[in-house]
A = this chain, B = another copy of it.
Amino acid sequence: MKISKEHNERKNEILNTAERLFSIKGYERCTVNDILNAVGIAKGTFYYYFKSKEEVLDAIIDRVTEIVIVRADKVASNPELSPIMKILYTILSMKIESEVDNEFLDQLHKPENALMHQKSLSSIVTRVTPILVKVVEEGISQGIFKSDHPAQYMKIFLTSSITLLDDGIFELNPEEQRLTLRALVALLEKMLGVEDELFWNVAKQYWT
C-alpha cells in the first residue's frame, strides 16, 4: 500500500522515529531496516529523503543542539539575571531533563555510541562556548569576573564536563560524580576569578 505525505512531514516522521530508535538501541545497533519498519516505509523512501544513515544522525544532533542553544540563549539574554546566575543556569540548562530528548541524551552516553557522542560533543561545545563567553565578558566588564582566557576556559570546561559527566565512558558512581561536579565548579570559580565556593553555594542545591 502506498501512503503519500507532505515532504517535510515525512522527513520529520523519519527523524522522530530514528531519534526514538537511536535512543533505545543506540545508533550503531539500530538498522536502517529498523527505521523503515517503524515508520512503515520502504528502503527507497528512506534514501529518497536522506542519502545515508549518518545523515539522519547529523540531522538529529542538529535538532537536539538547537534545543540546547535556544535554552542557553534564553538564559544568557535575560536582563534580570546577573552574570553569575547566567553562567550557572546556562550550565544547568544543559543537564536538566527535557520531556522529549531525554532518552536521546541518555543514550548519547552509552559507550558503544562513540560516534553519536563525539558529534554531539563537538556540536554543543562549538555552539555553547560563544554564549558562555559573552556572559563572561559581560561579567568582566562589570568587574565581577576576571579571566585571562575566557574562550579557551569555557571550551575546556564544557568539554571536560560533558565527557566526564554525561558519558558512559568513565562509569562514575554517584559519589564520584558528586566529587567530579564539585571539582568542576571549583575550577569554574578559578577560571572566572571569583571567590571560592561562590558558584558552589548556589549550585549544590540544584544538583545533589
- Interface residues of A, Cβ cutoff 8 Å to B: 111, 114-115, 117-119, 121-122, 125-126, 148-149, 151-153, 155-156, 159-160, 163-164, 169-170, 179-180, 182-184, 186-187, 190-191
Contact = CB atoms under 8 A, between A and B. Distances in A.
A7 to B, nearest CB: 30
A187 B153 contact: yes
Main secondary structure of the interface of A (DSSP, over half): helix
A122 B168 CA distance: 10
A189 to B, nearest CB: 10
B114 A156 contact: no
A122 B159 contact: no
A96 B153 CA distance: 24
A118 B125 contact: no
Contacts of A190: 187, 190-191
A156 B205 CA distance: 23
